[in-house]
Amino acid sequence: MPHMHINLFIQGRGHHEAAWRHPKSSALPLTDIRYTVELAQKAEASLFDSIFLADVLGLWNDVESTPFNWLEPITALAAVAMATRRIGLIATCSTTYTEPYNLARQFASLDHISGGRAGWNIVTTWSPQAGANFGHIGQVGHADRYERAEEFMTVVKGLWDSWADDAVLDDRAGGRYADRTRVKAIDHKGPHFPVVGPLNMPRAPQGRPVFVQAGSSDTGKKFAARHAEAVFTAHLDQGAAKAFYADLKGLVAAEGRDPRHVVILPGINPVIGSTEAEAARYEAELNELSDPEVGRHRLSQRFGGHDFSQLPLDAPLSVDDFPDPSKNEASRSRTEAVVALVKKERPTLRQLLAKLAGARGHFTAAGSPEMIADIMQDWFETGAADGFNLMPPVLPHQLDLFISEVVPLLRKRGLFRDAYEGETLRSHFGLSRPVGWI
């Protein structure tokens, strides 16, 4: 029986937007690398597959009341690599505002530094404040972002394969470091990226980083079917997760790829208490620390700057209160999930913002350790997930509870590993090493 995969998503002091105010969240500054290292070491001691650092390329407008990850993720994970041995290290980097040659060098370096544990979360950046920091005015359109991303993938794959595995000779006696005939230029000429290559470092231990992707729009799913090896996805209920799982696995097969080689990891935001009532009190306590106006602003950003200021907090919502997600040039998949929830449940704005405050559109469950383990087992065994992108609401407290209370239950049920079987992120996810230049 295959084991479920668990990735720890480290963001701020936890995934609830008010986590930084909670007395059980870390007191370390978010710029203190010890914070990330300590969480990674806990995850590794518990045999998690990987940790993940997100990224944003501009300062959030609500920085006065909401902190975020402040360290650049590739740099941070290079430091984490020196304090860990086995756990995978996944960093976000944008195809919209990065040059492929720089990105290829950075991730190849991280893979070498970590001994084959690097993963790249591929994003196409939608935030308008990011564009303003890179010489762009306004927002890059959804279709344009993915068109650029497709060519980006062609370039970086070529660069990572530009050295044969046997190119480095390191022959001191003979005076030859490398066999130049085993290193080739890529000579790519495209509308976005004329890149000659080759990369200026040998092929990485994994060949290339594990490709992770999180877009769930129709365009995003097709991109994932062609390229992704792990997919982070957000669903507010199990039914939506199962539909996404079946759809994406089918798209992967249609691309001629083995669906077993694309690991689907929906986000889960577990609020854990000794009883369901205690967990509900914890969740309510966090929501009391939230500012609804921060949530309203976040909602506006997701919908491309749409003005929600006139909506009352305590009146039931309808889909007519939201712009059409299919026309959204920002975070299309997440807005589709929000509108689907409103259509199904008719929450008030206050209720919607409370639901989104915990994990921004990912599944949130409050309950005892047994209840959380039951949910994870049900999703895993019924075709909704190959594992989970774990998003604890408060760090490190809720992670500690998950490790001490939920993980043993998963192991007892035969659902989670008792030991690492390999040393690379590819081995943790059951992925083969890409064939390079033979």
**219 annotated binding-site participant:** no
**97 annotated binding-site participant:** no
**35 annotated binding-site participant:** no
SS (H, E, C) the chain: CCCCEEEEEECCCCCCCCHHHCCCECCCCCCCHHHHHHHHHHHHHCCCCEEEECCCCCCCCCCCCCCCCCCCHHHHHHHHHCCCCCCEEEEEEECCCCCHHHHHHHHHHHHHHHCCCEEEEEECCCCHHHHHCCCCCCCCCHHHHHHHHHHHHHHHHHHHCCECCCCEEEECCCCEEECHHHECCCCECCCCCCECCCCCCCCECCECCEEEECCCCHHHHHHHHHHCCEEEECCCCHHHHHHHHHHHHHHHHHCCCCHHHCEEEEEEEEEECCCHHHHHHHHHHHHHCCCHHHHHHHHHHHCCCCCCCCCCCCCECCHHHCCCHHHCCCCHHHHHHHHHHHHHHCCEHHHHHHHHHHHCCCEEEEECHHHHHHHHHHHHHCCCCCEEEECCCCCEHHHHHHHHHHHHHHHHCCCCCCCCCCCCHHHHHCCCCCCCCC
**55 annotated binding-site participant:** yes
Main-chain phi, psi angles of 430, to 5 degrees = 75, 35
- Pairwise CA distance, residues 404 & 172, whole Å: 51
- C-alpha 347: how far from its chain's center? 28
**109 annotated binding-site participant:** no
**217 annotated binding-site participant:** yes
- Pairwise CA distance, residues 230 & 211, whole Å: 6
Binding residues: 55, 92, 142, 146, 216-217
Binding residues for FMN: 55, 92, 142, 146, 216-217
